[in-house]
Amino acid sequence: MGRLLPLAAAVLAAVVLGMLAAHLAGPRPDEPALPRGGDFTLTAADGPVALERLRGRVVLLYFGYGSCPDVCPTSLALTTAALKALEPAELERVQVLFISVDPGRDTPETLKQYAGYFHPNIAGVTGSPETIATVAARYGASYRMTPVDSAAGYVVDHSSVTSVIAPDGRLVEQLPHGTTPPEIVAAIRRWLPR
């Protein structure tokens, strides 16, 4: 019995530490429940991009469109500033996917130019309207093509949220529009394996 006590104490300590670690690593309690996320395959100019193949990296997802002149560039500029603040070893394990919800105007080629302008770790991807709708629904992104009285023809109303996917493929955080570069860096580092 006397020998078992230290063992029991050690087990208890391990359980408490484990719970503490899970608490620290998990979503903060004030955050709303996250959409379920999940794997997908979309198309980039250089070939298909499967989330499954990006295990081991922190993946940031942003749904937008190329001819979005105001909201998307702001979001991508914030993300770019965060990427530039990372150490090279960290950057190797971070991938940003800019998912175009406007396949009528954006092709994988134009998206490659568009995303690459911001940062080499940002890839522009798209897919069929059905695939995009499925992926957007899984990640809680909403968008709607809206005709407007403008030479632009139509605009795309869309949510402006950056999803953070952990190296094991789980959707773990969603960063609201306007999240600052230091906050984006902190979110990436929370999930990068040490």
Residues that bind another protein (CB under 8 A): 66-71, 73-74, 76-78, 81, 109-110, 113-114, 117-118, 142, 144, 146, 148-152, 155, 157-161, 177-178, 180-181
The least distance separating another protein from the CB of residue 158, rounded to whole angstroms, comes to 6
The least distance separating another protein from the CB of residue 67, rounded to whole angstroms, comes to 6
Q: Residue 45 pairs with which residues in a beta bridge?
A: none
The least distance separating another protein from the CB of residue 181, rounded to whole angstroms, comes to 8
Structure tokens at 10: 């050690």
The least distance separating another protein from the CB of residue 162, rounded to whole angstroms, comes to 13
| Centroid of chain to Cα 61 | 3
Is the CB of residue 155 less than 8 Å from the CB of residue 148?
Answer: yes
Return the closest-CA partner of residue 158 out of 34, 56, 68: 68
Is the CB of residue 35 less than 8 Å from the CB of residue 139?
Answer: yes
Residue carrying the six token digits 């391990």? 14
Interatomic CA distance for residues 58 and 79, integer angstroms:
13
> Which CB atom, from 95 or from 100, has the smaller least distance to another protein?
100
The least distance separating another protein from the CB of residue 22, rounded to whole angstroms, comes to 29
Q: Is 177 helix (H, G, I), strand (E, B) or coil?
A: coil
